[in-house]
Amino acid sequence: MATVASLPAAGLLYWVGALSAAYVTLRAGYSLLSGLRVWVLDRRAPPGPGLGAWAVVTGATDGIGKAYAEELARCGMKVALVSRSQEKLNQVASEIKEKFEVETKVIVADFGEREDIYTTIKAALEGLEIGVLVNNVGTAYASPEYFLDVPDLDNTINKMININIMSVCKMTRLVLPGMLERSKGVILNISSATGMFPTPLLTLYSATKAFVDFFSQGLHAEYKSKGIIVQSVLPFFVATKMAKIRKPTFDKPSPETYVKAALGTVGLQSRTNGYLPHAIMGWFMTLLPTSTAVNLMMSQNKKLRARFLKKMKAN
């Protein structure tokens, strides 16, 4: 009798297993086909002046922001560079003007300090036909750390929210109305792969970048029918000063390599890791249960934290 009674349960487990395997197979197949379309079959030309004469890039003097500014200038767009250092802005603007023969404009703004900077930025952007906005400015921890042990925590909280979240909302608020009037435009919001899942020891940074990702997805759904593309860009490590990576590698590309790849996904993906090796890493992470991904990141960041503390003691 026990054997007979167990048959329905065994049958149920069989079908649960079969359906789960079918779901995983279909999901993997769909991801593979989507990846082939984006990375092999249907590469797009990057955005250009057909969207509007000007591109606006925040955090434009280093790393990914500078690479976006240069690549959009290469495509023939005039570039408005927004950052906090007048000296660096002048230098980058001069380099872009000389190399790509396009008009540039510099706007000095420290996104970490005050809200009234947006009045200044609005005035500086007045009258510009803006086709592309790159919300790139960002700040991160010096190294992985437990939340309560983050140096100067209260100031760090304010600064990270102002730079990583407030800037995205406020700059979008300034630029989006003009795009809607022309029924075309692209907004590229630079999030982070750490925003795809909770990342211990980078908790505050991860949470701010998750906001950028969710904000972008919602905004894209609201305005795509009106001709506006909003893309959430979620890179893994890129060889920048902020990431403290000096030498590019295959999986940690230079900003220039990363941005060229990422711009090719505009119009194909509203949410992208931007670069094929990063897309593969992102796909793998989405297959993991959230708890496994969190534990994996905790383990990795503990090692990075220990390495950083050892280096600090040695100095």
pLDDT tens by residue, 38-84: 666 566 678 899 999 999 999 999 999 999 999 999 999 999 999 99
Give the global pTM.
0.88
* CA 303 to centroid of chain Cα atoms: 24
Q: Tell me the helix, strand and coil percentages in the chain, rounded to 5.
A: 60, 10, 30
Mean pLDDT of 260-289: 93
Percent of the chain surpassing pLDDT 70? 87
Domains in the chain, CATH or no CATH each: 50-314 (3.40.50.720)
How far, in Å, CA of 74 to CA of 72, rounded?
Answer: 5
Predicted confidence at residue 25, as pLDDT, reads: 63
pLDDT at 7 over 60: no
Mean pLDDT of 211-229: 98
How many C-beta atoms lie closer than 10 Å to residue 219's C-beta? 21
Active site residues: 205
Predicted confidence at residue 24, as pLDDT, reads: 59
Predicted confidence at residue 251, as pLDDT, reads: 93
Predicted confidence at residue 124, as pLDDT, reads: 97
Helix (H) or strand (E) holding 81: strand 78-83
Of 202, 265, 208, 260, which is closest to residue 233 (Cα–Cα)?
265
Q: Are strands 130-135 and 228-233 parallel, antiparallel or unpaired?
A: unpaired
How far, in Å, CA of 203 to CA of 36, rounded?
Answer: 33
Q: Which of 63-67, 111-115, 186-190, 275-279 has the lowest mean pLDDT?
A: 111-115
pLDDT at 141 over 80: yes
